[in-house]
Amino acid sequence: MTIAIGNDHAGTEYKFEIIKYLEKNNYTVLNFGTDNNDSMDYPDAIHPVANAVENGKATFGIIICGSGNGAQMTANKHQGIRAGLCWNNELVTLTRLHNDANILAIPARFVSVQQAVGFADIFLNTAFEGGRHQTRVDKIKS
């Protein structure tokens, strides 16, 4: 499975730790984020992640910025994207179970690196529940 990841300067450390987890678990990684802490504009890293997921080059995406809000807003501009902003395990689980999110947005300034790695694990290992939720997800793109 291929995972696209993108981050701004606030998420560099988080990205590197998540990539370690992904590679250890045999995921292929497409890295669209910055590799340093120099200030950069998050849309420059987030649009390529959303494009990769939308075009089928990646199964899922993980995006990281300071609050997670800008990253999520940017990703959700893409028609085929359902990015969920999550800051605890329950939200991560529900964004997959109920919303079939295909991108996880992480707020680096509000969670620890260890939490973020755990979020990636939960996100990638939780299946969409379907059922009554499918009708709701289908209405998102309307």
| Active site residue ranges | 98
Strand partners, 63: 6, 105
Distances (CA, A) of 132 to 3, 32, 85, 122: 27, 35, 22, 22
Residues 63 and 106: beta-carbon distance below 8 Å: yes
Q: Produce one character per residue of 34-51: b if its CB has 16 or more CB atoms within 10 Å, e if not.
A: beeeeebebbebbbbbbb
- The residue whose two tokens read 């979020």 is 119
